[in-house]
Amino acid sequence: MLAAGLAFTPAGPVSGEPAVPEVGLERLDRGAAARPHAVTGWYVDAGALVVSVRGSAAGVTEWARGLGAGPVTVEHVAEAPRPVWDLVSGQPITSGGTRCTLGFNARSGTNRFVLSAGHCVRAGTEWHGVGGYLGPAVGSSFPANDYGLIRVASTAATSTALVDRYSSGSDVTVTGAATPPVGSSVCYSSPVSGWRCGSVTGINHTVCYPQGCVSQLVRVNACPEPGASGAPVVTNPGSGTTVRAVGLVSGGSGSCTSGGTTWVQPIAEPLSAYGLTLVTG
């Protein structure tokens, strides 16, 4: 049924109109590129062909008549629809020529944020994700630490607790945070490496990059790849569907061809520093 509280204006019969609204629907579909700017959509409801309009309905009747779509009812709507997309850990984020990986989604009150590597976040100002604009960088700590914060400004982007496993299986869900001991199995996800797993081989490591040294990192024997910076590191789900957040990929040595080491910024530090809670499922 048509939604209550909306204004409807019958457009009247059109010469040569088709008898079946579904035919008119197909004709509007074919003529979509020429629709008036205010038209936000159309559909058949209770035997009527309805055209949704935000603002002025000028030109709507003429557009439908020109397509031979038949009589239409104009539905005035308060807002235009917009695409929505999910913020999923392990998927790419970019700012200009800088490409990193979305670490974890987090909240502080009603404000939403994305955590990634500090050396990455500080290299950009306005960030984008797979579905469009994400938001501005609002904080970073590097060197000494390696975490950064992006505020989610897009109302079309939905913060999720999901981690993309790419070709290795269905997404897994973050249920909280963990500090795994040496010997524990962990995995990370990034668009360049996919889903990679290894073992924790050390904790409280200090690693010196050209820009400075970062302390209290976790060492993992999963191979690194350029572009994986900020990637989410989680407990190995095995055959399950849930994981706990361990940290963010900071850097590494070696490669996935020769084998190597990945260093991880523990997640507890940025959560505490920024007063955040993880988005969990």
Domain ranges of the chain: 7-76, 85-278
The predicted structure's pLDDT at residue 13? 45
Residues 6+ apart with CB under 8 A from 279: 104, 105, 106, 107, 112, 159, 160, 161, 174
Selected from 3.30.750, 3.30.2010, 3.30.300, 3.10.129, the CATH number assigned to the domain covering 7-76 reads: 3.30.300
81, 41 Cβ separation under 8 angstroms: yes
Q: Please confirm, yes or no, whether 89 is among the known catalytic residues.
A: no
Q: Which of 119, 154, 164, 171 is catalytic?
A: 119
Q: Is the pLDDT of residue 194 over 60?
A: yes
Alpha-carbon span 146 to 46, nearest angstrom: 58
Cα(216)–Cα(180) distance, integer angstroms: 14
Residue 96's CB is within 10 A of a number of other CB atoms, namely 11
Amino acid at site 77: V
Alpha-carbon distance of 29 to 39, in angstroms, equals 12
Catalytic choice (52, 189, 190, 229): 229
Report the candidate in 112, 25, 103 with the shortest Cα–Cα distance to residue 67.
25
- Residues ≥6 apart with Cβ < 8 Å to 70: 13, 14, 17, 18, 19, 21, 23, 24, 49, 64
Compute the average pLDDT of residues 79-84. Answer: 83
Mean pLDDT of 264-268: 99
Q: Given 116, 141, 146, 190, which residue is catalytic?
A: 146
pLDDT given for residue 5 in this prediction: 43
Q: Hey, what are 186's tokens?
A: 């962990």
Report the CATH fold assignment for 85-278: Thrombin, subunit H (2.40.10)
Rounded to the nearest 5 degrees, what angle is found at the Cα of 89, between the Cα atoms of 83 and 93? 65
Q: Tell me whether residue 229 is one of the annotated catalytic residues.
A: yes
Report the chain's mean pLDDT, rounded to a whole number: 92
> pLDDT digits over 44-71, tens only?
999 999 999 999 999 999 999 999 998 9
CA distances from 150 to 14, 71, 131, 244 (A): 52, 49, 16, 21
- The pair of structure tokens assigned to 265 is 């910024």
> pLDDT digits over 1-59, tens only?
334 444 554 444 444 444 479 999 999 999 999 999 999 999 999 999 999 999 999 99
